[in-house]
Structure 1
Amino acid sequence: MITKTDSASLKPTPLVQNPAPRPLPGATQVFPAQSALELARTEFDMQATNIDFRPTEVSGDALSETLENMGFALGSYKKQATGRGTSDGKSERPRTRAMLQQLVKHVTATTSAQMEDLHKHTSAIDEASDLLEYLGDKGLDAGEMALLLGSALGRKNLGGAQRKRLEDALSAVMDDDEWTLKLFNRLEFGSTGKNSFLALKQLYQRATSRRTRLVQWFEEFRQLHDRQRKLKTLIRTLAFELSAEGPAMDAQLSSVITDLKRIMMFFGMEDHCHRVARTLAIDGLDGDGVIGTLLEVVQQSWMQVDWLEQQTSRQVPDARRQYAYVRQMGELVKLMTDECFEDDEQRKMITEVFSEYQEKLSDEGV
C-alpha cells in the first residue's frame, strides 16, 4: 500500500448537517443501491471473513453509523488478534496472502476470463530460474504478478520447496507500494487498462492526501474520465488494505477509514446533484453541471448577490426557472459537510447570499 503519513480521527463527519428548514425533496439524503457504501460493504464481506466486522444496512444514518461500526470492529479485532501485526509498518504477510488467494478464487469462479491470459504463464513459472525476472520480462506488473502467484499458491499438491519459492516471490511483489492498486486496476480494466493506471494512482494520492481540501479533491475527481469505474477500483483497494492490516497499524487503519469516508461523501453529493438536475429539468443542465456549480460556489472566499445573479443567469437564461434553481442550489449548499468550507463564517456568508437572492427573486415575482 502507499504509506499514509497522517492519521485521522475515527469520529465520523456526517454528510448531512441538520439544517432548518428541511431540505427539498430533490436534495434528500439517499444512498442508492450501487453506492460506494454498498460496494465497500460487499468488499468487506468478501475479503474480511476472519474479522468480526459486518457494516450495517444502508439507512438514513448509514454513513455515520457504518463508520462508527468500523471503529468498533477495529478495536475488537485488535483484542482478538493480539500480536498478529508487524513492527516494520507492513501488513501481516500470511494474512494478506490468504486474503489474496481468497480473492483469486472468487475472481476465478465469477469472472474466469479475468485470469485466462495470466494462467498461460502458470506452467512456465515452475521452470523459470528467476521467477520475478521471468514475469517482468513477460510484461506483468506487480498487481498481475500477485494475481498469478496467488493463483499458483492455490494449486493442490504443492511441494514444500515449491510453495516456499512462490511465497517468497509473492512477498517480494508485495514490497511494491502500489501492488494492491495495480491488482484492482487489472481486475476492473483488464490487461488494456495499464494506460489508466497513472490517473488512478494520482486519484489515490489525492484521496489519501490531507493537504488537499476536500472540495478541491471533489473538483479534481469530477473532471476524471470514467470516474465511476476508477472510484470503484479505489474503494476496493482501500477495503482490501483495511482488511489486510494487522492491529499494530491502527494509525494507518484510521487513515484508510477516512479515505473511504471521503469517497462515500463524494458519491452522496453526486447523487444529490443528479436528483436536483432531474427535478429542475432545465435544458442543458445535467447532474455534472450541478456538481460543477456547487463546487464553484463553496470555493468562493467572498460572495455577493451580484455574483450569484450573474452565475444563475448563465446557467438558467429563462428567468421563470431561476427561483427554483436558486432554491435547490441553496439546499445543496446546506447539505455540504463542514469540511468543504474554509470556516463557519464562509458557510454562513454563502447561505445568506442564497437566501437574499431567493428573496429578491420572490419580490420581483419571478
Structure 2
Amino acid sequence: MDRIVEIAIVLVSDDGRIEEEWSTLVNPQRDVGPTRIHGITATDVLAAPTFQDVMGRVLGLLEGRVLVAHNADFDVRFLLAELRQAGKEVADPTRVPQLCTMRWSTAFVSSSSRRLIDCCAAAGVDLTNAHTAAGDARATAELLRHYLRASPPPPPWQDVMHQAVAYRWPTAAGFGEALARSRAQVVSEPKHAWLERVVSHMPRAGDAQVDSYLAVLEMALLDGFLAEHEKEALVETAQNSGLDRDTVLDLHKRYLRAMGEVALEDGVVTESERADLKGVAALLGLPSDAVKQALEAVREGSHEGAYALSASAIQLEAGDRVVFTGDMNRARDEWERDIRRFGLETGGVTKATKIVVAGDPNSLSGKAAKARTYGIPIVTESAFARLLEKQGSGQA
C-alpha cells in the first residue's frame, strides 16, 4: 500500500484569504517511493512523525472545513487509507466534503491542460516548490482564491460548504500530537550529530579496543555513505569497546590516512579519489584540511598508528545473492542484467544474501529492514557500480 510521506494543510477563509499553514514530513514506515519526483529520501523521514502521530492535528484542522485539492479524489483516497491504517474509519467515505480545483478549472481558467502548474500559470498564480506538499497546497489555495474572485457570490459549491459544517470526522482521542518536521529542518540540521554522540558519551579514559570499531567503520564507509543504522552501530561499538574521545577522533584520522595510502599507490591522486577522501573526511567530522594532512603524512612516509585498509571490504563471487530495493536511478532490470554477467543472482533477502543495493541506504523498505536484522551490508548504487567495476577488472 502506498503511504503519505509529506502532508500540508492550508486553511482558507470563505473569501479566499490564507488563515493558517501547517505541514510536516511523514515517516511511512516503508519505502518512500519515487524520490526523483517528490525529492524526499528515507534519510529525511527517519526522524519524522508517523501519520498516526499527527492524526489528531490533521483531523482537528479538517473539522468543519471543505477539503480542497487539485485532483481531490486522489488526495482523499490517501487520507482515508491512512486513517484506516490507524484504526479510524470514516463513517461515509463517499460524503467527505471536497472541492476539486482541477474539475472546476474549465470554468475559471483557460489553460493548456488541467495540471496544477498549467492552471496556476493561466490564473497568474506563482507555483513555487512544485511537488512539495506545502508548495502545492499553497498554490491550490491561491488558485481557489482566483476561482472565488471570478465567481459571483455565492460560489457554485455552496452546498459542499454547508455539508462540511455538519460533517464529522473521526475523533483522535488518546493520540498525542507529535512535533512537525519540515524539509527546512532536515536541511538545517547538523550533519554530524551522530559523531557528537560517539565522542561525548565516551568515558574520559579507557583501554583502546580499536579493532572492532575499525571493522565496523570500514564496512560502514564501503559506499562513502553513513546510514543511520551504521552510525548507531559505530556509537554502540565505541561504547562497548570503552574508547575515549581522543581515541575515536584519532581512529577517524587514521582511517582517512589509510585511504590516502590506497589513493597514492600509483603516485597520483585523481579528482575522483580526492572527492572520495573529502567526502569521507566530512562524514567523519574531520576539519577541512584533514585530507591535505593525510596525504602529506603518506608522502612523508609517516606510518605512526597506521591502519591497513583493505582494497574492498566485500568480495563478490559467482552464486552470491545481490538484492535491490527502493526507488533507484537506474532501471532494476538493467542492474539485474549486469549482475547476471558476473554469475550473481537476485531475489528476496535471506541470511545468505551478500549485499543489498538501495537508492537510499536508510531505506525503510521491508528488504532493508530484514538486511539490517541479518547484518547484511546496504550500499548505494554508485558504490555497487564501483564494486562491479573492480569485479570486472579482476576477471579481466
Band of TM-score, shorter chain: under 0.3
TM-score when scaled to structure 1?
A: 0.27
Flag the structure with higher strand content: 2
TM-score when scaled to structure 2?
A: 0.25
| Greater Cα radius of gyration, structure 1 or 2 | 2
Higher relative contact order (CA 8 A, sep 6+): 1
